[in-house]
Amino acid sequence: MYKLSFLICFAFLFTKSAKSQTTDTINLNASEQQFSDSIAQVNEQNEDLKASRDAYNEGLLLLGTENYIEAITHFTNAITIDSIFSEAYLSRAKCYEGQNDELAIVDYLKAFELDSSKVFPLYSVAALQFKTDKELAKQTYSLIIALNESEFKAISQLGIIAFLAKEYNTAEQYFTQSLAINTNAYTLNDRGSCYRKLDKLDLAVIDYLAAIALNSDLAFVYSNLASVYANQGDPEKALNYYDLAISIDVNYALAYNNKASILLENKEFDKANSAINKALVVNPDYAPAYNNKGVINHQLKKYEEAIDDFDKAISLDDNYAKAYLNRGVSKQMTRDEDGACSDWYKAKELGIMMVKKYLANDCE
Amino acid sequence: MTVNNRYRKSLLLACLLFVTSIAFSQDIAFKNANFKEDKQGLKLAKESMAIADEMREQGIEKILLMQDANIVFSQAIFHYNKAQAFNPNNAELNYKIGSSLLFTNQKENANSYLVKAKELSTNLPAEFLFYYAMALQLNGDYTRAVEQFEQFKDTAKNKVYALYEVFTKKYIKECQGANEVLAAEHRIWVDNLPINTKFDEWSPCLSADGELLIFTSNQPNENQPNEFGVYDQDIYYSNLNARKFSNVLPVSELNTKNDDVSGGLSYDGQRLLTFKQEDGNADVFESKLNGLKWGVPLRKMGEKLRGGNTDGNETFASFDPPDVKVYYITDGGYSGNKNIYFSGVMNRERNLWGKGQSAGHEVNTKFQEGSVYIHPDGKTMYFSSQGHNTLGGYDIFVSYVDDLGHWGEPINLGYPINTPYDDLFYSATASGRYAYIASNRAGGKGGLDIYKVTYWGADKPMSTDVQDQLIASIAKPVSDNTIAKPIVVEEKSLTVFKGKVIDAITKKPIDAAIEIVLNETGKIFTSFHSNSATGKFLLSLPAGANYGISVAADGYLFHSENFDLPKGDGFNSVNKDIELKNIKVGSNIALRNVFFNTGKWEVKDDSYAELERLVSLLSDVPTLRIEISGHTDNIGAESFNELLSQRRADAVVTYLLGKGVDKKRLSAKGYGQSKPVDSNETAEGRAANRRTEFEIIEN
């Protein structure tokens, strides 16, 4: 509509200009005067429009250089001039994201209000709501779907929300619904994880393999599949897929750590150590790797070193219940019974109830 | 020959002579020619040796008759040492000392004397090989030990070998089986206790909760040592503090000038079995803890020479959980050796016990059994023996009873509980996690020492951490929350129930009768009293039954508990104080936790806990009527004190009325300073007199 108006204005301006060259001195009658006034009004409006667009364009430049605060100023100017400039709301919202999510949400919603044919602002709103209020995010995704039931991404997101709420059956249904519209590796991965949580490991394997078939570059899918094989009691396959995950992403600390866990169970302590060390090279602050390293050292009867490893894990996460549990066991082997009991009390406080037995038998 | 060559040759010769002189030190005989300067010293040394020789011979006779000879060998060594101080380089003397030491609690010192004897002379008696082999066995040099035993067998004259044949064969078998016993992995720590001294500490007796340790020691005491410088055995105790036994005190009321030896402690720590010599033989005695003092020991298992008592020696004994039998060591049985027997009570009031019965051929051997202990679970026997497959000397074994009451094949507890030395006694906590033994193994503080055995128990598994990126769009990994489950192994199915019986108001300990009934059958499982001084009680209840526990004391409301312990329930420990409510008419109970400001009668806030207990008592026993009485010291005017005490008594009654107690059950009286309970001359006495009491006037 604005484009049309602009063309009309341009046409008028051109005509006026053309005419003015030949009729500079023509006196206008009433209707002509009225027409001339409306042209002047349009010209004025066009100037505003231009100013608004100029401000918007400057804002875009600043947004591009991540100069958010100044960009916001320009977008605000654009909006002040033209309060129905939806693109300006969108861009300003992007600037607000991370600084003030509430304002970002307001702008996205405004943008959607101005042009409800585009639902992507609602996706942005939902993504922001997801961080703090999953219920609200759920409502927004549901709205997107109500507007268009083919919005498979929104359906997937509802699945993720259900997954995080541990409603795995519901999550599985959403993922299936989404996949029926659009089959993609990410949603297949997510549904595979649902099946894993539901202990339907065979179905999990099928989905992970299907995800890989669609996109063979997702290291985490290989790793997830490996973990399922590990749970199924097939350490060889598990190790194979962890290696594949690592071959795709040589900095995938999770895969190194998980691989070490399998090797440890197989009592291949040297290889386990090697894998753990690689995890720690990639991520020197990876607490689970320190925990597992401590377990390896404990199995090798290197109790002091094991305690050092658990110390490190706890220093990275002072609520690391498993590390307290394990450290207590190692401390007991160094005859530090007081230290062992103290660690087990802490593990119990953090929710590991099985230490009650250790406390009853060994500490009380 | 050049000067340098000559010099080198002389040096070589000198070195050779020096080495030879070391390798073949001279065996210096006890002869005048060798001690011209000190003939008197020689005479005394020879006299000492003669005395020692006689004792040594006695000792050897005892050993060959399967009897303990620790004392006589120790006495022989006492005399030998006098000769040794005079002349330490006599092969025969070193041999005799070394061989004697092998039968004492200082056997770790034997090897050095035997080695020296060997170095001093090659002309030693054939038996030397036997004793040297024993020393090698003690050192864990089993292969060489077997070689020496075999050589003894091959070289000794038949008459000599015949005397030692049984032992030679036994010790060879021990050496050959040692590697198998040692190879078994045992998840155990064995620690020397801080309470040990250079003297003997032995016969540890532990209460089932592991908090009281009673033991025997010949460390210096109030009595005079004997001519050998050895003190008599006395009984000591120590209470667990911060997981350690550190403070040791004598059980004075049980110790005499003669040997007093602890035998076995009841699981609740209230009764102690000892043994003592009377008229030429030893019998088992029992002493009961009355409050804080042990009572006079009375003969257990019947009168002298009756029931379980023989004309032999009944010594180390153990209670069994139902307190129906006593297991003990006696040499008054058929074999004449020290074996394990048991006697069952027939009539406790009249102290009538059955004749001693052997614990069975599976546990008893033709060698000596040294000690016996029945675990609180009633199904496990720990005993020490020189027979079976020991590593050497006494070892500790475990045997389990079947449903028919037969004790099964013993299992050697293995290293590090057992060693080639003497490892005896065993007393454990009900949980089985800790036990205490005695041993004269090398590396101790001297003689027999008490060691604490800690069982690691089942492997405590480690929990690894695996993480996954379960949701593609969420980068934060999710941990696997699985905690590795502990390995379930068969463990003692027992519950230890312990605590104190106390007055509900005053919290003072009560001597209460406690009876345990098996609810399914209505039969009494056991009955006993809580300690009158401390109110403490302790009992072990095997799993697989529902128990009713009744607690009764004169003047108190009856109390009951229920314990349902399904089979396979594992070990549990329940610590609970049982409060009994006083209901005896005429009882006067001081409310020591009811407070007022000086000269005032408003009840202070910190009195409410005590008053609530009183409310609770009145609620539980609706028939009680009480008088609340106020009392003061003698400071201030008598009339004021009377008024103050009345107002205070009224204030307590007002509180009780406010809590819903019927006013017909309450009365208040102020006695002022007219009824002191202590002297008003002292501050403490005056404080005791300032009190609020209640008296039960009707029930």
pLDDT digits (tens, 9 = 90+) for A204-236: 999 999 999 999 999 999 999 999 999 999 999
Q: What is the pLDDT of residue B18?
A: 53
| CB spacing of A258 vs B467 below 8 angstroms | yes
- Give the number of other Cβ atoms within 10 Å of residue B646's Cβ: 18
Identity of the amino acid at B149: F
C-alpha distance from residue B482 to each of A354, B272, B485, B554 (Å): 12, 48, 9, 55
Asked if residues B533 and B292 have their Cβ atoms less than 8 Å apart, the reply is: yes
Range with top average pLDDT, A33-47, A157-171, B604-618: A157-171
Please, what sign has the CA dihedral across residues B250, B253, B255, B261?
A: negative
- Give the whole-angstrom CA distance, residue B515 versus residue B321: 14
pLDDT tens sequence across B6-26: 656 666 665 555 555 554 568
Residue A27 has pLDDT above 60, yes or no: yes
| CB spacing of A160 vs B485 below 8 angstroms | no
Q: What is the pLDDT of residue A23?
A: 43
Q: What is the pLDDT of residue B534?
A: 87
More confident residue, B151 or B699: B151
Q: Which of B304, B345, A251, B362 is nearest to B314 (CA)?
A: B304
Q: What is the pLDDT of residue B599?
A: 86
Q: Which residues of chain B approach chain A closer than 8 Å at the C-beta?
A: 189, 243, 431, 433, 457, 460, 462-474, 477, 479-480, 483, 485-486, 570-573
Residue A21 has pLDDT above 60, yes or no: no
Q: What is the pLDDT of residue A11?
A: 47
Q: What is the pLDDT of residue B557?
A: 78
Q: What is the pLDDT of residue A293?
A: 97
B-chain residues near A186 (CB < 8 A): 472-473
Give me chain B's average pLDDT, please: 89
Quick one: pLDDT band at residue B45, thresholds 50, 70, 90? very high
- A66: which DSSP letter? T
- Provide the angle, in degrees to the nearest 10, between the axes of the packed helices A185-197 and A219-231: 20
Mean pLDDT to the nearest integer, B176-199: 89
Structure token digits, residue A234: 């097939």
Whether A288 and chain B come into contact, CB under 8 Å, resolves to yes
Q: Angle B27-B33-B39 (CA atoms, 0-180°, nearest 5)?
A: 105
Quick one: pLDDT band at residue A18, thresholds 50, 70, 90? very low
A52 three-state secondary structure: helix
Please, what sign has the CA dihedral across residues B339, B345, B346, B352?
A: positive
A-chain residues near B573 (CB < 8 A): 360, 364
Asked if residues B233 and B222 have their Cβ atoms less than 8 Å apart, the reply is: no
Mean pLDDT to the nearest integer, A322-333: 96
| CB spacing of A361 vs B457 below 8 angstroms | yes
Q: What is the pLDDT of residue B67?
A: 86
- Give the number of other Cβ atoms within 10 Å of residue B502's Cβ: 20
Structure token digits, residue B347: 């009539």
- Give the whole-angstrom CA distance, residue A247 versus residue A216: 11
- Give the number of other Cβ atoms within 10 Å of residue B46's Cβ: 15
Give me chain A's average pLDDT, please: 88
Structure token digits, residue B182: 């040692």
Mean pLDDT to the nearest integer, B76-80: 97
Q: Which residues contact B405 (CB under 8 A, 6 or more apart)?
A: none
Q: What is the pLDDT of residue B10?
A: 61
pLDDT tens sequence across B507-522: 899 999 988 888 777 7
Whether A193 and chain B come into contact, CB under 8 Å, resolves to yes
Three-class DSSP labels, B458-487: CCCCCCCCCEECCCCCCCCCEECCCCCCCC
Interface test with B, best of A293, A361, A363, A364 (most B CBs within 10 A): A361
Q: Which of A159, A114, A116 is nearest to A141 (CA)?
A: A159
Q: What is the pLDDT of residue B431?
A: 80
| CB spacing of B472 vs A218 below 8 angstroms | yes
- Provide the angle, in degrees to the nearest 10, between the axes of the packed helices A101-114 and A120-132: 160
Out of A261-275, B142-156, B606-620, least confident range: B606-620
- B230: which DSSP letter? P
- Give the number of other Cβ atoms within 10 Å of residue A299's Cβ: 14
- Among residues of chain B, what percentage have pLDDT more than 70? 93
Q: Which of B479, B259, B218, B307 is nearest to A261 (CA)?
A: B479
| CB spacing of A325 vs B477 below 8 angstroms | no
pLDDT tens sequence across B226-236: 999 999 999 99
Q: Which residues pair with B563 in a beta bridge?
A: B547
Q: What is the pLDDT of residue A41?
A: 72
Q: Which of B180, B100, B183, B93 is nearest to B135 (CA)?
A: B100
Interface test with A, best of B467, B478, B485 (most A CBs within 10 A): B467
- Among residues of chain A, what percentage have pLDDT more than 70? 90
| CB spacing of A190 vs B471 below 8 angstroms | yes
Residue B564 has pLDDT above 80, yes or no: no
The length of chain B in residues reads 699
Q: What is the pLDDT of residue B20?
A: 52
Please give the model's pTM, rounded to 2 decimal places: 0.70
Residue A17 has pLDDT above 60, yes or no: no
Q: What is the pLDDT of residue A361?
A: 77
| CB spacing of A357 vs B486 below 8 angstroms | yes
Asked if residues B531 and B537 have their Cβ atoms less than 8 Å apart, the reply is: yes
B272 three-state secondary structure: strand
Q: Which residues contact B13 (CB under 8 A, 6 or more apart)?
A: none
- For chain A positions 305-344, those within 8 Å of chain B (CB to CB) are 322, 325-326, 329, 332, 335, 337-338
Out of A20-34, B164-178, B241-255, B364-378, least confident range: A20-34
Residue B593 has pLDDT above 80, yes or no: no
Mean pLDDT to the nearest integer, A91-116: 91
| CB spacing of B467 vs A291 below 8 angstroms | no
Residue B666 has pLDDT above 90, yes or no: yes
Structure token digits, residue B447: 């003689």
| Burial (CB count <10 Å: 0-12, 13-18, 19+), residue B253 | middle
Å from A294 to nearest chain B CA? 9
B-chain residues near A187 (CB < 8 A): 472
Out of A293-302, B168-177, B324-333, B583-592, least confident range: B583-592
C-alpha distance from residue B450 to each of A238, B106, B203, B440, B441 (Å): 52, 15, 8, 9, 10
pLDDT tens sequence across B566-586: 776 667 778 888 889 888 888
B204: preceding bond cis by omega (within 30 degrees): no
| CB spacing of B573 vs A360 below 8 angstroms | yes
B257 three-state secondary structure: coil
Asked if residues B527 and B517 have their Cβ atoms less than 8 Å apart, the reply is: no
B5 three-state secondary structure: helix
Distance of CA A228 to the CA centre of its chain: 24
Q: Which residues contact B5 (CB under 8 A, 6 or more apart)?
A: none
Q: What is the pLDDT of residue B413?
A: 92
Identity of the amino acid at A343: D
Q: Which of B27, B19, B77 is nearest to B48 (CA)?
A: B77
A-chain residues near B431 (CB < 8 A): 361
Q: Which residues contact B514 (CB under 8 A, 6 or more apart)?
A: B501, B527, B528, B529, B530, B537, B539, B549, B550, B551
| CB spacing of B573 vs A164 below 8 angstroms | no
Å from A171 to nearest chain B CA? 11
- Give the whole-angstrom CA distance, residue B524 versus residue B521: 9
pLDDT tens sequence across B356-393: 999 999 999 989 999 999 998 889 999 999 999 899 99
- Give the number of other Cβ atoms within 10 Å of residue B340's Cβ: 28
Asked if residues B113 and B95 have their Cβ atoms less than 8 Å apart, the reply is: yes
Residue B134: φ, ψ to 5° = -60, -40
Q: Computed over its alpha carbons, how large is the radius of gyration of chain A?
A: 31
Q: What is the pLDDT of residue B496?
A: 81
Q: Which of A269, A199, A211, A270 is nearest to A244 (CA)?
A: A211
- Give the whole-angstrom CA distance, residue B286 versus residue B276: 11
Quick one: pLDDT band at residue A250, thresholds 50, 70, 90? very high
- Give the whole-angstrom CA distance, residue A195 versus residue A172: 8
Mean pLDDT to the nearest integer, B146-162: 95
ipTM over 0.90: no
* Among B457, B463, B571, beta carbon nearest to A326: B463
Structure token digits, residue B253: 């009321």
Whether A220 and chain B come into contact, CB under 8 Å, resolves to yes
- Give the whole-angstrom CA distance, residue B138 versus residue B368: 18
Å from A346 to nearest chain B CA? 15
Q: Which residues contact A162 (CB under 8 A, 6 or more apart)?
A: A168, A170, A171, A174
Asked if residues B192 and B444 have their Cβ atoms less than 8 Å apart, the reply is: yes
B76 three-state secondary structure: helix
Please, what sign has the CA dihedral across residues B443, B444, B450, B451?
A: negative
Quick one: pLDDT band at residue A19, thresholds 50, 70, 90? very low
